[in-house]
Chains A and B, each alone.
Chain A
Amino acid sequence: MTDFGSASIPAVGPDDHVAGAGEGLVVYADLGCPRCAGAWQRLREHPGRLVFRHFPLASKHPRSPVLHAAAEAAGRQGQFFEMVDSLYADRGRVDDPHLWERAERFGLDLDRFEADRRSAEVEARVRRDFESGIRAGVGSTPALFKEQGERLPSASA
């Protein structure tokens, strides 16, 4: 039985999505969340390394699971942050044709992108981040943590 009792955020691992270098900031974010979109530009300007963790709230943002799967699939071809940047920058264009257009623009293998974003493996990868956020007490997005696990106030997003 799955249990989501309290636990610190997991240490940054080799399959985390990391941009930049230096002191780390871990963000649990929802790609369908307008607050996250509003904060994203500032988060991207974080002077250290930025670690993105998936936190899709499907009930609140029904399109979120699809967007997180698309970002994860793009990441499998080295374009994770390009996809995330684009999804946050253009929130009105998130239907499948818009995702395909982005995949082509980023030079992705479209067939592979399609297979990956619908795969159980990608779904499990997104869920892994989500569950770690639940265990760390994430209640709204974006939720920020120092890499060592200390929670930062949401106003700092």
Chain B
Amino acid sequence: MIAVGEKAPDFTLRNQDGEKVSLADFRGRKVMLVFYPGDFSPVCGDQLSIYQEVKPEIEAKGVELVGISVDSFFAHKAFQEKLGIDTTLLSDFEPKGDVARAYGSYVDAPLGFANRTLVLVDEEGVVAWTYESPNPGEFPGANVIFDALS
């Protein structure tokens, strides 16, 4: 897992609409990177649905939520629509999992996807806080995000 105080590795990934999004785009704002295993898995859906319910309160604290998984951006679009969420979802698809690896979130084969990790990047692009789930089947409740922001 990347350490607090390190410079957050920059990346450019496609969002659910196929548009390129870079970490540098968020400079001057805080961003919470939400690494998760995959679209359409039951737990991931719960996680992003819960976060959606309190997204206005998270944004009121000056933090933007961004989900990242190894799925294609086409899958992200369908997943977003299925859940009824508007959280930006980034596709860490090719080379698969490179960004998750850079943040120390990737779980190697046979799983081959990101663990559930949260990384708060501050206005200067520095890692301010991290959380790693004990296993991909458990996710941090929204309260954990608010604890980090308090």
Beyond A5-B150, A62-B84, is A137–B141 a contact (Cβ under 8 Å)? yes
A interface, CB within 8 angstroms of B? 1-7, 57-60, 62, 130, 134-140
Cα A19 to Cα B54 in complex, Å, equals 30
Is B47 a contact partner of A139 (Cβ separation < 8 A)? yes
Shortest Cβ gap from A36 to chain B (Å) = 12
Is B53 a contact partner of A139 (Cβ separation < 8 A)? no
Is B143 a contact partner of A60 (Cβ separation < 8 A)? no
What is the number of contacts between chain A and chain B, taking CB atoms within 8 Å? 63
Is B146 a contact partner of A3 (Cβ separation < 8 A)? yes
Given A4-B57, A57-B49, A134-B142, output 17 extra A-B contacts at Cβ < 8 Å.
Answer: A3-B57, A3-B146, A3-B150, A4-B142, A6-B144, A6-B146, A6-B147, A7-B143, A59-B84, A60-B45, A60-B49, A60-B83, A134-B143, A137-B144, A139-B141, A140-B43, A140-B50
Shortest Cβ gap from A141 to chain B (Å) = 8
* Residues in chain B near residue A138, CB distance under 8 A: 50, 141
Is A139 a contact partner of B139 (Cβ separation < 8 A)? yes
Cα A135 to Cα B146 in complex, Å, equals 9
